[in-house]
Amino acid sequence: MIKRFISLEWKQFKRSSYFQKGLAIKILLIFGALYFMTAAFFLGISAFFMAEEFVKDVDPFVTINNYVIYWFLFDLVFRFFMHQLPVMNIKPYMIIPIKRETVIHYLLGKTTISFFNLLPLFLFVPITGVLLFKGYAALSALTWLISMLGITLCNNFLNFLINKNNVFFYSLLSVLAIFIGLEFYDIYKVSKPLGVAFYSLYTQPYLVIIPLIAAFGLYKANYSLVRSGFYLDGAISKKTKAVTTENLSWLDRFGSIAVFLKNDIKLIKRNARPKQVLMMSFIFLFYGLIFYTQETYREMPVFLAFASIFVTGGFLLSFGQLVPSWDSEYYKLLMSQNIPYRKYLESKWYLMVVAVAISFILSTPYIYFGWDIYGMIAAGALFNIGLNSFITLFGGALNRVPVELNVKAKAFSNTQGFNPTQLLIALPKMIGPMLIFYVPYKLIDFNAGIIALAISGILGIALKGVFLNKIEAVYQKGKYKTIAAFNEKK
């Protein structure tokens, strides 16, 4: 029966009208997966020697165990954002004589066959190989490897449970932040007692049973959770929710584009996918911490310009790139109304401008790193408003892949609305500000680069009318092709 399930899912994938587009995206994802696997492999090979180099007079394997907890915590957070839980259309199987236990076991078994469970192999197997090469006890090293893979499976099934309750996820994120804070400021070395626990999986091989039992227990917990709702009436019934209306009259000051702004705000508040993207855009605010805290990047300011675009441009880059796909479910109705296309595009531009402005205000704590950094962020915000917003809108004219608003998929891994053309459109948004900053910086100084980046954004704002006219012409030309494309469903 499992073989039959696999055969049916392959036919569903292959016969889909989106097979070619989905295949192209999956090829890109495969290249990304190969990159991360290669990086993990080389990290696994070098981890022992790096620990030996940087932490003197301590067994390198002890050092590795002290920090392996962070791998698993980051793995769990990474899974929450990226790991799209496998699904299958189970309704047809509920009315034919197939044991529900078989279907549930198949669903849970699919979760173990994923990139997120394969990646740890490329890290822990090389570490184990180095341990054997260095003369560590073979049996203990192998049981340690099995324990690491058992904990990986625990993360896999724990992610299933966390997805059912966001409270668990935010609690986990808070714990991770506290651990890093305590470690970074030398308040308390959380890694040491946890490292002792992980190292004991090597010194006492019989403890391998603990992560294996934990993985089995989490599997049973998931099985019980799915089994409790595995009924036909539960699968087809719809929850009734109280209907609420919102006036949003404060948006009327924007005149004729107010109706579109109200529609977008309601879309974000009421639907799953836009909410996820909004949360993702907030996370972009912390992107600068990767660059502004490292002295290395201070010596390469062009990367600071790159970071400044992300700090204030999270919403623009994530939500904006899916214009007009957000409206795909009612795009035909929208285009049949007696409304100027220009107003529709202008409303999207104002929405992105407001989001950039709010992000800039929220980025005020970056003043801590110096006024030069904050000036860079301000210049990046102007560039986002004056140029990146129009580049994003232009890219939307080439994006004809629909988005299902209430599909509860991961904002980071959901490829609905994605097409490879967006990668080409993204290049000027990333490389452009770096070039505009770098040339004056190299010829004059740092401040000249900031001023050039800011002036480019101001010029874009001044030419708003010209840009919108050109973009409107492109949208009008492809209007009916876009309507036809949005009528296709996966």
- Contact between 225 and 164 under an 8 Å Cβ cutoff? The reply is yes
The 10 Å Cβ neighbour count of residue 34 is 10
DSSP letter string, 390-454: HHHHHHHTT------TT----TTT--TT--THHHHHHHHHHHHHHHHHHHHHHHT-HHHHHHHHH
Per-residue pLDDT at 370 exceeds 80? yes
Q: What is the pLDDT of residue 15?
A: 61
What is the C-alpha separation between 195 and 340, in angstroms, rounded?
Answer: 63
State the pLDDT confidence band at 461, using cuts at 50, 70 and 90: very high
pLDDT tens digits for 201-212? 999 999 999 999
pLDDT tens digits for 377-430? 999 999 999 998 998 888 877 777 777 776 554 444 444 444 555 666 677 788
In the numeric block, the tokens 């090389």 are attached to: 126
DSSP letter string, 52-111: HHHSTTS-HHHHHHHHHHHHHHHHHHHHHHH--------GGGGGSS--HHHHHHHHHHHH
DSSP 8-class letter at 188:
-
∠ Cα 481 486 488 (to 5°): 105
pLDDT tens digits for 244-274? 556 677 777 777 787 788 888 888 888 777 8
pLDDT tens digits for 147-192? 999 999 998 888 887 776 666 666 766 777 787 777 777 777 777 7
Q: Give the residue extent of every domain in the chain.
A: 2-236, 249-486
CA dihedral 292, 295, 299, 301 (to 10 degrees): 0
Least confident of 310-324, 388-402, 476-490: 476-490
Q: Per-residue pLDDT averaged across 304-318, rounded?
A: 86
pLDDT tens digits for 20-51? 555 555 676 677 778 888 988 998 999 999 98
Q: What is the pLDDT of residue 322?
A: 81
Q: What is the pLDDT of residue 149?
A: 93
What is the C-alpha separation between 207 and 487, in angstroms, rounded?
Answer: 56
Q: Which residue has the higher pLDDT, 397 or 436?
A: 436
Q: Per-residue pLDDT averaged across 292-297, rounded?
A: 75
State the pLDDT confidence band at 235, using cuts at 50, 70 and 90: very low
Per-residue pLDDT at 482 exceeds 50? yes
Bond before 324 cis per omega within 30 degrees: yes
Please state, rounded to an integer, the average pLDDT across all residues of the chain.
80
Joined together, the tokens standing for residue 454 give: 């800011």
Q: What is the pLDDT of residue 125?
A: 93
State the pLDDT confidence band at 236, using cuts at 50, 70 and 90: very low
Phi-psi region of 83 (alpha: psi -120 to 50; beta: other; left: phi over 0): beta
What are the CA-CA distances from residue 233 to residues 20, 98, 236 (Å)? Answer: 35, 17, 5
Q: Which residue has the higher pLDDT, 345 or 230?
A: 345
Instruction: For the chain, report the end-to-end CA distance as a whole number of angstroms.
Output: 26
**108-112, 137-141, 264-268, 321-325: which is most confident:** 137-141
pLDDT tens digits for 214-226? 999 999 988 888 7
Per-residue pLDDT at 318 exceeds 60? yes
Q: Which residue has the higher pLDDT, 1 or 228?
A: 228
Q: Which residue has the higher pLDDT, 193 or 122?
A: 122
- Contact between 123 and 151 under an 8 Å Cβ cutoff? The reply is no
pTM of the predicted model as reported, rounded to 2 decimal places: 0.60
What is the C-alpha separation between 8 and 120, in angstroms, rounded?
Answer: 30
Q: Per-residue pLDDT averaged across 191-198, rounded?
A: 84
